[in-house]
Amino acid sequence: MDKKRRDFLKVAGISTLAGLGGTAVVDRLVSGTHPSVANASGGHGEEHAAPKEEHAVQEAPKTGKRYGMVIDVKKFQEDPALGERISRACIQAHNIPEFPEKKDEIKWIWMTGYENAFPEKSTLYKDETTEEHQVPVLCNHCDNPPCVRACPTKATFKNKDGIVIMDFHRCIGCRFCMAACPYGMRSFNWRNPRDFITEVNRDFPSRMRGVVEKCNFCAERIGVGQKPACVEACGDTGAMVFGDLNDPESEVRKLLKENYTIQRRPSLGTHPSVFYIV
Amino acid sequence: MFEKALKGNNYYWMWLAFLGFFVGIAVICYLRQYFYGLGLTGMSRDVSWGLYISQFTFLVGVAAGGVMLVLPYYIHNYKAFGKITILGEFLAISALLMCLMFIMADLGQPLRGLNVLLHPTPNSMLFWDMCVLWGYLLLNALCGWVILTAERKQVAPPKWIYFFVYISIPFAFSIHTVTAMLYCGLPGRHFWLSAIIAPRFLASAFAAGPALIVIMALILKRVANFDAGKQAIDKMVTIIIYAAIANMFFVGLEFFVGYYSNIPGHYHTLQYLFFGLEHHGHVYNNLVPFMWGFLILFVIGFFLICNPQTRRNNDLWLGIGCASIFLSFWLDKGIGFVLGGFVPTPLEEITEYYPTANELFITIGIWAAGFFILTILYKIAIGVEHEVEA
Amino acid sequence: MYDSSKIIPGLIIFVLFVTIPIWYNHGDAGAAPEIKLPQDAKACVRPTAEMRASHMQLLNQWRDEVLRDGDRGTIEVDGKHYKKSLMLTCMECHTSKKQFCDKCHDYASVKPYCWDCHLAPVE
C-alpha cells in the first residue's frame, strides 16, 4: 500500500506541475495580446504622435490604415444643435431603435457631460463652458481594444482599416465585451429592436435581439468612399474630421499637429483613435 | 447504478417534487425570456451582467471547493475523508451543471453557444473558462463514477483513474482562477482590476464549498443514516475556518488599498457596496443591506464554528454556523462582487440593478435544478454505501 | 426478459409515435413550389443550378468577405457590376421575399435568420 501511495505522489507532483505550466501558458497568451512596447501612456496630448505600433489581435491583412477622428469640442459649444444633428444622423443611418424605457436603451453616438467623458480630468472649480456644454462620445476604435480581447467568438474584431467592428451574425450575446469596454460605448439588444426603429434606412440592416452593437465608424459608408454619417451631418463646420491616422498628410494628422488634443482615459493603454480638441 | 435513485421513501419523493416545482416554474419563465429577450431581466447597458453571471461566479467556487476533500484524501492520504470524497465530487458536478445553466440563461443568443467552439479564441478568458469548466465537469463525472462503481463491486479502483483524480486537482484551482480572470483583466473596471481577485475567489470557494458539504453531511446523517464521521467533519470545519479567515483578510486588504490610497476608482465601489455612494445629491445604496448581511453572517458563522461548544457538541449549531458562512460568502461573491463592479459606470453615472420576478424565478429554478441533481447523485452514492455495508 | 409483455408493445408504440410525420404524409412530399422569377432581369450572379444548391454558402461567403475582410469588390456578370449584398443586390431583382425566399424555405422547413436583421423589400 505504501509503495502504491508513493507512486500516486509522483503522478500528483507531475500533474500539479503540468497544471502550473498550463496557467503559465494562459498568462503568456494573455500578455501576448498586450502591446509589446508600452506607449507613452499616463500623459495625454503626446500620444497621437505615435500611433504606428502594430499590435493587438488581428485576423485580416492590414492595409496600413488606421481610421480615426478629431472632434472639435468648441464647435459643439458654438452650435448647441449640432449634437442632436449628429446623433440623429447616426440613428437614421443605422436603424438604431429608440425605446421608451431607459433600461432597453441602445446608442452609438451621443452627447454627454465633459466630466462623464473625461472622468479623470475633473476639477473643483469648473469653467462655465465645461460645466454647461456637452461633448459627443462614440466608440474609440482603440488600437488595442479590450473588447476584442474579451470576445470569445471573434464576433467583434479589428478590421483591416483599424475599425473595431461587430459581426452580428456571430455574436452569442455573452456581453463580455460590454464589461470589457472601459468607455461604456456598447449596447445590447435586450429585446427585438424592429418595432422601435422610427425611420428605416433600407440600405442598412437592423439588428436582432440578443446581440451587442456599437458605432462601426460607418464602415459600410467609408467602404464605398463616403464619410461617416455623423461627420457628414457636421457639414463644413469642421466639428468632426475623419481620416487615416497613419497617413501623415491626412487632415486628421494636420489637426493633431496644430492643436492640443486629449483622448478618453489614455492611461488604460487602449490607444483610442478618437481625439478631442478642447 | 441509477436504479438507486428510483427507490426512496416519501420524504425523498416529496423533496424532489418540491424542487421539481421550482424547476417547472423556471422553465416557463425561461421560455418567456427566450421569446422576448433578456429585456425581461433587470439588466441594462450600464449593468450588463446580473444575477445569472453572479450566481455562475459563486457556483464555480462551490464546484472548486470539492477539491478540499479530494486533495487531502488522495495527496496526503487523509483516510477520514475516504467516505465523503464522493460527496465533494458529486457536489462539483451539480454545481458545474448549475454554472452551465446560468451561462445559457444569460446568453442573448443561446442557440449560437457553439460559436465558442467553432471560432475558438484563445485571447478570450471566456474561451478558457469554457475549457476548464467542461474539463473539470468531465473529470469529476469520470472519477466519481469509476470510483463509486469500484466501491460497489468492492474492488480497488483501476489504476488509470488516479491519473484523472490528480489532474482534477489543478483543474479545480484553475476553474476559479480563470473565472477570476474574467473580471480582473478588464481595464477600467477598478473594483475588479485587482490581482487579489483570484486568491480571494479561491479562499471564499474553499470556505463556501466545504461548508455546503458539511451541511449536506449533517443532513444525510439525519435523513439517510449516513455518518460521515466526526473526524472528517471536524477537519473540514478547520479547513473552512482558515479559508474563511483568508477571504476576510483579502477583503480587508481591498478596503485598505481603496481607502488609504484614497483613489476614487479604488474605493467608489466599496463605498457603494458597504455605505452607499453619493452622486449628484442622491445616495445609491441598494446593495448595502446585503453587504452588511455578509459581514454579520460571517461573524455569527465564524463564532459558531470556532467555539468548541457549538462546533463539537451540537450538530444543529454547527449546521447553522456552516450555513451562515455559506450564505455570507454567497452575499459577498454571488451578489456584491459582480453587481458592484458595474458601479459607477465608465461614464461616471450610477445605475442600480434590480432583478425582475422572471429573472428571480429562473435563478431559483436553476438552483433547484442543481439541488435536484445533487439529491439524485447523493442518493446513488449513499445507496452504494449502504449496499456495501449490508 | 422481464416484463416483455409491457416493454415490447411500449417500444412499438414509441416507434410508431416518433414516425408519425412519415405515416401522416405517407411518403408524399407535396407539390414542389413554383417560384416567380424576376421579369426584367435575365442573368444571376451564378448559374441557376448553382444558386439553387448553394446560395446559402455564397451569402455566407459574401458576408465574411464584406464584413470581416472588408473586401467590397463587385461581381461582374455580362458587363454589369453587382455588389456583394443580400439587400442591395439579390433583392433588387428578386423583389419579393414572400414569392422567392419564403416559398422554398417553407416547403423545405428551413428558417434562416437573414430577415431578423436584414430588411426585406416592401411588398
Q: What SS3 class is residue B350?
A: coil
- The neighbours of chain A, by the rule of 3 or more Cβ pairs under 8 Å, are B, C
Q: Is the pLDDT of residue A21 over 60?
A: no
Inter-residue contact B54 to B43 (CB < 8 Å): no
Could you give all domains of chain A from N- to C-terminal order, each with its CATH number?
33-277 (3.30.70.20)
Average predicted confidence (pLDDT) for chain C: 88
With an 8 Å Cβ cutoff, are C116 and A157 in contact? no
> What torsion, rounded to 10 degrees, do the Cα atoms A51, A52, A53, A59 define?
100
Torsion-angle region of B193 (φ positive above 0: left; ψ -120 to 50: alpha; else: beta): beta
What percent of chain A is predicted at pLDDT more than 90? Answer: 65
Nearest to C55 by CA among C16, C105, C109, C119: C105
Which of B44, B123, B133, B342 to probe the A interface (max A CBs under 10 A)? B123
Does the N-terminal peptide bond of residue A272 adopt cis geometry, omega within 30 degrees of 0?
no
Nearest CA in chain A to C85: A203
C-alpha C75: how far from chain center: 22
Whether chain A has a CB inside 8 Å of the CB on C117: the answer is yes
Q: Chain B, 84-113: which have a CB under 8 Å from a chain A CB?
A: 103, 106-110, 112-113
* A241-A231-A127 Cα angle (round to 5): 65
Q: A67-72 and A274-277: which strand pairing?
A: parallel
- The H or E element containing residue C76 is strand C75-77
With an 8 Å Cβ cutoff, are A184 and B38 in contact? no
Measured distance CA(B377)–CA(B96) in Å, rounded? 13
Name the minimum distance, in Å, from the CA of B73 to any CA of chain A: 11
Question: Picking from A121-130, A258-267, B44-53, B333-342, which range would have the lowest pLDDT averaged per residue?
Answer: A121-130
Measured distance CA(B221)–CA(B227) in Å, rounded? 5
Instruction: Compute how many other C-beta atoms are within 10 angstroms of the C-beta atom of residue B130.
Output: 19
Q: Looking at the 3D structure of chain B, how many domains does it have? A: 1
Measured distance CA(B325)–CA(B337) in Å, rounded? 16
Nearest to A73 by CA among A101, A35, A107, A111: A111
The C-alpha cell at C78 is 455580362
Is C77 within the bounds of a domain? no
Stretch A193-217: mean pLDDT: 93
What pLDDT, on a 0 to 100 scale, did the predictor assign at position C30? 76
Whether chain A has a CB inside 8 Å of the CB on B146: the answer is no
The amino acid occupying position B64 is: A
- Specify the DSSP class assigned to residue C67: I
What pLDDT, on a 0 to 100 scale, did the predictor assign at position A18? 53
What pLDDT, on a 0 to 100 scale, did the predictor assign at position A15? 56
Q: How do residues A213-230 score in pLDDT, each as one tens digit? A: 999 999 999 988 999 999
For residue C4, what pLDDT band results from cuts at 50, 70 and 90? confident
Q: Give φ, ψ of A272 to 5 degrees.
A: -60, 150
With an 8 Å Cβ cutoff, are A159 and C87 in contact? no
The ipTM (two decimal places) reads 0.91
Which chain C positions have a beta carbon within 8 Å of A165's beta carbon?
67
Which chain A positions have a beta carbon within 8 Å of C66's beta carbon?
223
Nearest to B254 by CA among B271, B239, B242: B271
Q: Is the pLDDT of residue B155 over 80?
A: yes
CATH of the domain at B112: 1.20.1630.10
Instruction: Compute how many other C-beta atoms are within 10 angstroms of the C-beta atom of residue A57.
Output: 18
Q: How do residues A22-74 score in pLDDT, each as one tens digit? A: 454 444 444 444 433 333 333 343 334 433 344 444 444 456 899 999 999 99
The C-alpha cell at B309 is 461548544
Nearest to A152 among B37, B127, B171 (CB): B127
What percent of chain C is predicted at pLDDT more than 70? Answer: 98
Whether chain A has a CB inside 8 Å of the CB on C70: the answer is yes
Instruction: Compute how many other C-beta atoms are within 10 angstroms of the C-beta atom of residue B237.
Output: 21
Measured distance CA(A160)–CA(A163) in Å, rounded? 7
Q: How do residues C56-114 score in pLDDT, each as one tens digit? A: 999 999 999 999 998 888 888 888 888 899 988 888 888 888 888 998 999 888 999 99
Q: How do residues B246-297 score in pLDDT, each as one tens digit? A: 999 999 999 999 999 999 889 999 999 999 999 989 999 999 999 999 999 9
What pLDDT, on a 0 to 100 scale, did the predictor assign at position C105? 92
- Specify the DSSP class assigned to residue C87: I
Q: What SS3 class is residue A69?
A: strand
Q: Residues of chain A whose C-beta is under 8 A from some C-beta in C? A: 59-60, 63, 95, 157, 159-161, 165, 167-169, 200, 202-203, 205-208, 219, 223-224
Which chain B positions have a beta carbon within 8 Å of A180's beta carbon?
186-187
Measured distance CA(A191)–CA(A206) in Å, rounded? 13
With an 8 Å Cβ cutoff, are C113 and A205 in contact? no
- Specify the DSSP class assigned to residue A156: E
Q: Is the pLDDT of residue A83 over 70?
A: yes
Q: Which own/partner contact pairs does C92-100 have at CB distance under 8 Å and 24+ positions apart?
A: C93/C38, C93/C40, C93/C41, C93/C44, C94/C38, C95/C38, C95/C121, C95/C123, C96/C36, C96/C121, C96/C123, C97/C121, C97/C123, C98/C123, C99/C35, C99/C36, C100/C35, C100/C36
Question: Picking from A48-62, B14-28, C18-32, C106-120, which range would have the lowest pLDDT averaged per residue?
Answer: A48-62
Nearest to A60 among C68, C113, C119 (CB): C68
Residue partners of A118: CB distance under 8 A and separation at least 6: A135, A262, A264, A265, A276
Q: Which domain holds residue B185?
A: 2-389
Q: Is the pLDDT of residue B38 over 70?
A: yes
What pLDDT, on a 0 to 100 scale, did the predictor assign at position A50? 39
Name the minimum distance, in Å, from the CA of A262 to any CA of chain B: 16
What pLDDT, on a 0 to 100 scale, did the predictor assign at position A35? 39
Q: Looking at the 3D structure of chain C, how many domains does it have? A: 1
Length of chain A in terms of residues written: 278
Which chain B positions have a beta carbon within 8 Å of A103's beta carbon?
39, 42, 44
Q: Is the pLDDT of residue C13 over 50?
A: yes
Measured distance CA(B343)–CA(B353) in Å, rounded? 10
Measured distance CA(C112)–CA(C123) in Å, rounded? 20
Stretch C26-54: mean pLDDT: 83
Inter-residue contact B115 to A172 (CB < 8 Å): yes
What pLDDT, on a 0 to 100 scale, did the predictor assign at position B342? 95
Which of C57, C89, C119 to probe the A interface (max A CBs under 10 A)? C119
Q: What SS3 class is residue B319?
A: helix
Nearest to A176 among B75, B126, B173 (CB): B126
Instruction: Compute how many other C-beta atoms are within 10 angstroms of the C-beta atom of residue A22.
Output: 16
Question: Picking from B16-25, B28-37, C113-122, which range would have the lowest pLDDT averaged per residue?
Answer: C113-122
Stretch B200-222: mean pLDDT: 95
Maximum CA extent, chain B = 70
Is C35 within the bounds of a domain? no
Q: Which domain holds residue C112?
A: 85-123
What pLDDT, on a 0 to 100 scale, did the predictor assign at position C111? 92
Place of cell 435544478: B369
Q: How do residues A250-273 score in pLDDT, each as one tens digit? A: 999 999 999 999 999 999 999 999
Task: List residues bridging with B284 in a β-sheet.
Answer: B277
- Terminal CA-to-CA distance of chain C, rounded, Å? 63
Stretch B140-161: mean pLDDT: 92
